[in-house]
Amino acid sequence: MRELKIFSGRANPVLAEAICEHLHLKLSRISLGKFPDSENYCKIEEDVRGRDVFLVQPTCPPVNEHLIELLIMIDSCKRASAARITAVIPYFGYARQDRKDEGRVPITAKLVANMITRAGADRVLTMDMHAAQIQGFFDVPVDHLYAAPVLNAHFQKMGIPSDQIVVVSPDEGSIKRAIGHSRRLGGTLAIIDKRRSNATETKQENLIGGPVEGRVALMFDDLISTAGSICGAARLVRAAGARAVHVAATHGVLCGNAIENIQKAPIDEVVVTDSIPLSRKQLIPKIRVLPVAPLLGEALKRIHHDQSISAMFQE
């Protein structure tokens, strides 16, 4: 591991520290700041010539600020003659617009992928992208991790009998994810029929599958943004007779009125990972944060030693 260097941007330094602790390494030194005119400043404070460099920077809110900082860090390492640069982006922002669903709109996910590649990244490590096909937007290798083992382990520790579980997909797009969790946790499968009226508003119409009555509902999604969808789904599941509702998501974006919505919703617990740092206001009793540093640390070690990443998820 001597040739490995891990640097952190300002998006989630606590996660980067935890990854280094898992690998028994020290976080490498980097100076980040701003010039008087608000332009970003970066200087690598250690020798990276010929080294395998990992830059930990989720592009979480403020997305533009963290994205440009990542690009500048990549360029700094490239010009300092690093042998290989891996952009570790636990949460990949700008992932919603991955296709043209109407006229005169951009495919922003492809644009951001191009920017990261052109800046000099040799590979990308990310986790639970909003749309898995975004991996194909990059012209460099992408290692796509899943937080499912971490989330499943949390619910397995609760000791809920499998015949008392119903795994709920909050929309049609999450059915495959729900099936995967159901195979490991047991229980039946239910699907929420979600209708989107515009970019920010959704309505939960029907509950398909089940049975739900008297069971513990486990709802899985890739991210929670304003929490409007999951709260609407939770109310629908409760109305169908579920005795408890637990929501799990990899990324807790929790923007807008998310905390207020979760407080009011009939949800017993919301589980997210620390891919995105939460503020004190966001850490309400209903929300539980699970660490993903061991998962990311193992992936970093395997990339450094040219070992298989997919083997991490084989039973």
Report how far apart, in Å, the C-alpha atoms of 85 and of each of 76, 123, 203, 206, 302 are: 10, 7, 43, 47, 15
Q: Say yes or no: do domains 4-146+294-313 and 148-291 share a fold.
A: yes
Mean of the per-residue pLDDT values for the chain? 94
> How far is the C-alpha of 107 from the C-alpha of 98, rounded, in Å?
5
Number of Cβ within a 10 Å radius of residue 144:
16
Q: Give the pLDDT confidence score for residue 172 in this predicted structure.
A: 82
Q: Is 194 a known active-site residue?
A: yes
Check 26, 194, 203, 264 and give the catalytic one.
194
The residue ranges of every structural domain in the chain are 4-146+294-313, 148-291
- For 116-156, the pLDDT digits (tens) are 999 999 999 999 999 889 999 999 999 999 999 999 999 99
How close are the terminal C-alpha atoms of the chain, in Å? Answer: 27
With vertex at residue 263, the alpha carbon angle to CA 261 and CA 267, rounded to the nearest 5 degrees, is 95
- For 11-30, the pLDDT digits (tens) are 999 999 999 999 999 999 99
Backbone torsions φ then ψ of 177, nearest 5 degrees: -65, -45
Task: Say if residue 210's pLDDT is above 80.
Answer: no
Q: Give the pLDDT confidence score for residue 197 in this predicted structure.
A: 56
Q: Give the pLDDT confidence score for residue 205 in this predicted structure.
A: 65
- pLDDT-derived band at 93, boundaries 50, 70, 90: very high
* Numbers of helices and strands, H then E, in the chain: 8, 14
When comparing pLDDT for 83 and 208, which is higher? 83
In contact, 143 and 124? CB cutoff 8 Å: yes
- CATH code for the structural domain at 148-291: 3.40.50.2020
In contact, 140 and 167? CB cutoff 8 Å: no
Task: Say if residue 227's pLDDT is above 90.
Answer: yes
Select 4-146+294-313's CATH number: 3.40.470.10, 1.10.260.40, 3.40.50.2020, 3.40.50.720. Answer: 3.40.50.2020
Q: Give the pLDDT confidence score for residue 3 in this predicted structure.
A: 86
Contacts of 277 (CB under 8 A, 6+ apart): 11, 12, 14, 15, 60
> How far is the C-alpha of 20 from the C-alpha of 192, rounded, in Å?
40
- For 28-66, the pLDDT digits (tens) are 999 999 999 999 999 999 999 999 999 999 999 999 999
Q: Give the pLDDT confidence score for residue 225 in this predicted structure.
A: 94
- pLDDT-derived band at 1, boundaries 50, 70, 90: low
- For 271-292, the pLDDT digits (tens) are 999 999 999 999 999 999 999 9
> How far is the C-alpha of 278 from the C-alpha of 252, rounded, in Å?
8
Task: Say if residue 194's pLDDT is above 80.
Answer: no
In contact, 177 and 226? CB cutoff 8 Å: no
- pLDDT-derived band at 101, boundaries 50, 70, 90: confident
